[in-house]
Amino acid sequence: MQDRKWSRREVLKASTAAVAGALFAQPLRAASLPPTAVTPALIDAARKEGKISYYAAIELNVAERLGKMFEAKYPGITVRVERSGAERIFQRIAQEQDSGIHAVDVANSTDVSHYLDWKKSGWLAPYLPEDVAKYFPADQFDPDGMYATSCAWLEVIGYNTGLVKPEDAPKSYADLLDPKWQGKIVKGHPSYSGAVLTTTFVLARDLGWPYLEKLAQQKVMQVQSAGDPPKKIMLGERAVMADGNDYNLVLFKDQGKPVEVVYPQEGSPLIIVPCSVFQNAPNPNAARLFQSFFFSAEAQQMLVNEFAHRSFHAQVKPRDGQTPMSSLKLLKSDPAAVQAASEEIKARYSKVFRV
């Protein structure tokens, strides 16, 4: 990351990982944990527990839809969704674990570096759903079965088509520095959103902190989650978003709302959203059943069709009309480097944007 006082060894290590597009600590190693199929015994044991506590960093409507779908498939098991930003979830789980409180069964986060912390702390339970082993690329799950990518999306630029003409719209991150956008931009905050933290890491690495310092001079409206900027431009509260998820804009366009997606010329940060079962889950069997369901073709296709998320499941069909990831330039992060720099990113960002 530009301006950070890393050793030469750290810089080379992080750069190599970024170029390789590494998503997990050891993406090329074969899975060391045998996959687990859903059995009648697992279903019976889960029904006896009767509930799941699911901590979700994906948007509330998505998490609740997933929970209702699970409850319909497995009557008698209730899913309690606890939704917050990824960084808030990380803080909450740390506080609970340090206090000996075991409340979370399953959690997903938009900050992959959280899983490195949780795995190192011994808080995650090894569990490899059969679908993950069969249909997911090896670089999308931890070889020890501690977590896997439940969905993904891209962080993008977007604009309100009622306020901005296509020929005037920004095409790149550099375009956002044009004085004409002063007071017209909205973006998320890395201290709340794991997706924005990852995006900030990537932009600081590739474009440098001087770029972000110039962006901060544009009188940017600051919001929390990566899901907030798309809503702000859809409502016309701002003309352009500097970051935010692509899926909300796709869904808004389908509804006839005046928004457009811009995949920046410099590349679009790829956000992957892992999910894991916790070691001291109060409902361990229900947690494992939910994890298997989350990674099933049925649930993954729902995420693609209904919410325009991306799936790495080989049997899932792409969403009609959505730009495939294979045709886009992707900016991939290195979780270990994000983990090392996360607190510095949050502090520096807050100072630069004065919020």
Cα(237)–Cα(355) distance, rounded to whole angstroms? 19
**pLDDT, average across residues 44-58:** 97
pLDDT cut 70: percent of the chain above it:
91
DSSP 8-state secondary structure symbol assigned to residue 295: T
Does the pLDDT of residue 15 top 60, yes or no? Answer: no
* Res 7: pLDDT: 34
Cα(179)–Cα(164) distance, rounded to whole angstroms? 15
* Res 193: pLDDT: 87
Strands (E), the chain: 51-56, 78-83, 106-108, 148-154, 157-160, 185-187, 221-222, 240-241, 259-262, 268-277, 330-331
* Res 311: pLDDT: 97
Cα(43)–Cα(155) distance, rounded to whole angstroms? 37
List the one residue out of 59, 23, 56 whose CA is nearest residue 226.
59
pLDDT cut 90: percent of the chain above it:
85
HSE-up of residue 63 (Cα within 13 Å, Cβ side): 22
Cα(167)–Cα(189) distance, rounded to whole angstroms? 29
List the one residue out of 352, 309, 23 whose CA is nearest residue 191.
352
What's the distance, CA 26 to chain centroid? 19
Does the pLDDT of residue 93 top 90, yes or no? Answer: yes
* Res 17: pLDDT: 37
Does the pLDDT of residue 4 top 80, yes or no? Answer: no
Cα(33)–Cα(119) distance, rounded to whole angstroms? 15
DSSP 8-state secondary structure symbol assigned to residue 126: P
Burial profile 163-191: b = 16 or more Cβ within 10 angstroms, e = fewer: ebeeeebbeebebbeeeebeebbbbbbbb
Which structure tokens are listed for 130? Answer: 């059969």
* CA-CA-CA-CA torsion sign (285, 286, 292, 296): positive
Does the pLDDT of residue 9 top 80, yes or no? Answer: no
Question: What are 302-352's pLDDT values in tens digits?
Answer: 999 999 999 999 999 999 989 999 999 999 999 899 989 999 999 999 999
Which structure tokens are listed for 304? Answer: 């693609």
Does the pLDDT of residue 16 top 80, yes or no? Answer: no
Contact (CB, 8 A) for 204 and 2 = yes
* Res 108: pLDDT: 94
Q: Are strands 330-331 and 268-277 parallel, antiparallel or unpaired?
A: parallel
Cα(18)–Cα(222) distance, rounded to whole angstroms? 28
Q: Are strands 221-222 and 240-241 parallel, antiparallel or unpaired?
A: unpaired
Which structure tokens are listed for 293? Answer: 């369901």
Cα(170)–Cα(177) distance, rounded to whole angstroms? 9
Which band of pLDDT confidence, cut at 50, 70 and 90, is reported for residue 76?
A: very high
Question: What are 188-222's pLDDT values in tens digits?
Answer: 999 888 899 999 999 999 999 999 999 999 999 99
Does the pLDDT of residue 21 top 80, yes or no? Answer: no
The four Cα atoms 189, 190, 196, 202 give a dihedral, to 10 degrees, of 130
Residue with token string 């190192």: 120
> Which residues are paired to 191 by β-bridges?
none
Contact (CB, 8 A) for 277 and 124 = yes
Residue with token string 């920004």: 170
Phi, psi (5° rounding) for residue 284? -65, -35
In sequence order, the 6+-apart residues with CB closer than 8 A to the CB of 98 are none
Which band of pLDDT confidence, cut at 50, 70 and 90, is reported for residue 33?
A: confident
Name the residue type at position 123: W
